[in-house]
């Protein structure tokens, strides 16, 4: 509807994300963060990073509590709306308010609980919290698929932001109410944290894959890890025969090993404002992929030390939106509150579910600094082929499963002869943070 009304690709993406915040509130929303990869019609690619940051008064012993990643002490400074604001100022056509109107109506009228959301509501079972009460029937039981949930407080908040802009969230009445709720729940978020938050702009990083150039966000996003896996696999000169007969096992053995090495490299994905990004630059180089490829054996796996892996928690949140407009503008954007229902904290005065983004530091570093952005698996990418003027916009949801899912799709599409639809629907094998494998039920046994 937004595109048909004359909106830009960015308008469409923002409106879709706002809507998704009430359709899939377990995965993303105003209390989270977002990363845009935008290819302009002139071919220039820009990154807008509005990933959450560490509050100024973060507790020094926070990372000693990584065994449990729920609670207000894990809340990072939300960046979602500053990201929308920056993208809209640069590329929006429709009025800011117009992007919020459909979701405000939806939130007030109520949303039917989807099958997906109903499955995730199980994590709230037995809780007596503001969040669980939001999804509770009048008889005190949790809602089921098909029930209707209304987001009245969130609708009021969305209306204020639609009328007053993102500043309402970062320095207005919404900011005051949000901070009060988070602090009462034990968090360290302050009004100054919100006032000082800024989205950043940067050029995209890129690698060449087959006939395409793939553009992706730099650290602390996860595009460099995705690029590494694809660089390793491209060196095997894959083709449709690579997944036929005995070759199928060999191809996936190599792929799984590449993913294990990728886990070991995640330690180099850090906020460049606080750490050098030289190592991250090095790991997207073709010669580095070649060195790792030489360490991969076709019939053997190894212990964690071989891959230099430090186990870290896996996440399943996030939402991705891809938009390709008629004028050639492409938007790939990923948003998250991190784990399912984020921190588990609902701001009762704003209706906003808060992230637990600081948990992404667990297993990756021993110290965090105020203002630092945590590492992320998010990798919204745009691929462009100059030879046939073809654009592919792709990203993933599922938290730490993003990298595996996207790498599988792109491997299928670029080299294994599958259509885009087949590439997306094909089952995947997931390598978790402990280098253990999980297969989709329909994966070839």
Whole-number pLDDT of residue 313? 52
Is residue 368 in a domain? no
Q: Residue 234: which domain range?
A: 203-314+380-439
Is residue 20 in a domain? yes
Task: Answer yes or no: do 117 and 133 share one domain.
Answer: yes
Is residue 339 in a domain? yes
Task: Answer yes or no: do 245 and 162 share one domain.
Answer: no
Task: Answer yes or no: do 196 and 47 share one domain.
Answer: yes
Is residue 422 in a domain? yes
Task: Answer yes or no: do 226 and 277 share one domain.
Answer: yes
pLDDT, tens digit, 9 for 90 and up, residues 383-416: 999 999 999 999 877 666 778 888 999 999 999 9
pTM for the model stands at 0.92
Is residue 125 in a domain? yes
Q: Is 336 annotated as a binding-site member?
A: yes
Task: Answer yes or no: do 355 and 345 share one domain.
Answer: yes
Is residue 32 in a domain? yes
Q: Is 376 annotated as a binding-site member?
A: yes
Task: Answer yes or no: do 111 and 14 share one domain.
Answer: yes
Task: Answer yes or no: do 261 and 327 share one domain.
Answer: no
Task: Answer yes or no: do 270 and 404 share one domain.
Answer: yes
Q: End of a domain among 299, 329, 361?
A: 361
3-state secondary structure the chain: CCCCCCCCHHHHHHHHHHHHHHHCCCCCCCCCEEEEEEECCCCCEEEEEECCECCCCCCCCHHHHCCCCCCHHHCCECCHHHHHHHHHHHHCCCCHHHHHHHHHHHHHHCEECCHHHHHHHHHHCCCCCHHHHHCECCCCCECCCCCEECCHHHHHHHHHHHHHCCHHHHHCHHHHHHHHHHHHCCCCCCHHHHHHCCCEEEECEEEEECCEEEEECCCCCCHHHHHHHHHHHHCCCCCHHHHCCHHHHHHHHHHHHHHHHHHHHHHHCCCCCCCCCHHHHHHCCHHHHHHHHCCCCCCCCCCHHHHCCCCCCCCCCCEEEEEECCCCCEEEEEEECCCCCCCCCEECCCCEECCCHHHHHCCCCCCCCCCCCCCCCCCCEEEEECCCCEEEEECCCCHHHHHHHHHHHHHHHHCCCCCHHHHHHCCCEEECCCCCEEECCCCCC
Is residue 371 in a domain? no
Q: Is 338 annotated as a binding-site member?
A: yes
Whole-number pLDDT of residue 229? 95
Whole-number pLDDT of residue 310? 47
pLDDT, tens digit, 9 for 90 and up, residues 284-318: 999 989 989 988 987 667 666 555 544 455 555 57
Task: Answer yes or no: do 165 and 53 share one domain.
Answer: yes
Q: Is 425 annotated as a binding-site member?
A: no
For the question of residue 318 being annotated catalytic, the response is: yes
Q: What is the CATH number of the domain that holds 249?
A: 1.10.246.130
Residues of the chain under the 50 pLDDT cut? 309-311
Task: Answer yes or no: do 139 and 208 share one domain.
Answer: no
Q: Is 360 annotated as a binding-site member?
A: yes
Active-site residue (options: 315, 318, 319, 403):
318
Is residue 3 in a domain? no
State the total domains in the chain. 2
């Amino acid at each position: 509807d937004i595109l048909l009304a004359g909106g830009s690709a960015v308008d469409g993406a923002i409106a879709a994300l706002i809507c998704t915040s009430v359709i899939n509130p377990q995965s993303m929303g105003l209390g989270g963060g977002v990363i845009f990869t935008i290819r302009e019609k002139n071919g220039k690619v820009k990154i807008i990073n509005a990933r959450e940051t560490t509050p100024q008064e973060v507790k020094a012993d926070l990372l000693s509590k990584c065994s449990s990643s729920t609670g207000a002490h894990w809340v990072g400074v939300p960046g979602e709306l500053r990201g929308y604001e920056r993208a809209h100022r640069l590329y929006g056509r429709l009025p800011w308010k117009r992007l919020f109107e459909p979701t405000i109506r939806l939130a007030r009228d109520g949303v039917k609980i989807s099958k997906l959301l109903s499955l995730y509501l199980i994590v709230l079972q037995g809780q007596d919290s503001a969040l669980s009460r939001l999804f509770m029937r009048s008889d005190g039981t949790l809602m089921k698929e098909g029930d209707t949930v209304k987001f009245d407080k969130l609708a009021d908040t969305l209306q204020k932001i639609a009328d007053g802009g993102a500043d309402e969230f970062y320095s207005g009445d919404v900011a005051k109410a949000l901070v009060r709720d988070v602090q009462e729940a034990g968090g360290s978020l302050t009004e100054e944290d919100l006032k000082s938050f800024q989205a950043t702009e940067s050029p995209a990083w890129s690698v060449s894959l087959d006939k395409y150039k793939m553009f992706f966000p730099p650290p602390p996003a996860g595009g460099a890890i995705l690029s590494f896996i694809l660089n390793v696999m491209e060196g095997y000169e894959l083709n449709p025969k690579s997944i036929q007969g005995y070759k199928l096992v060999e191809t996936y053995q190599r792929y799984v090993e590449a993913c294990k090495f990728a886990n070991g490299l995640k330690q180099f994905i850090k906020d460049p404002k606080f750490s050098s990004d030289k190592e991250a630059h090095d790991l997207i180089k073709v010669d580095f992929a070649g060195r790792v490829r030489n360490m991969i054996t076709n019939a053997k796996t190894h212990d964690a030390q071989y891959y230099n892996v430090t186990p870290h928690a896996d996440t399943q949140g996030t939402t991705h939106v891809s938009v390709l407009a008629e004028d050639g503008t492409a938007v790939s954007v990923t948003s998250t509150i991190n784990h399912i229902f984020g921190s588990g904290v609902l701001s009762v005065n704003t209706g906003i579910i808060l992230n637990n983004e600081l948990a992404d530091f667990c297993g990756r570093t021993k110290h965090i600094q105020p203002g630092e952005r945590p590492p992320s698996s998010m990798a919204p990418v745009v691929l462009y082929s100059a030879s046939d003027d073809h654009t592919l916009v792709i990203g993933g949801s599922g938290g730490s499963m993003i990298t595996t899912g996207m790498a599988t799709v792109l491997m299928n599409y670029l080299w294994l002869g599958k259509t885009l639809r087949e590439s997306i629907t094909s089952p995947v094998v997931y390598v978790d943070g402990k280098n253990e494998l999980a297969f989709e039920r329909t994966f070839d046994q």
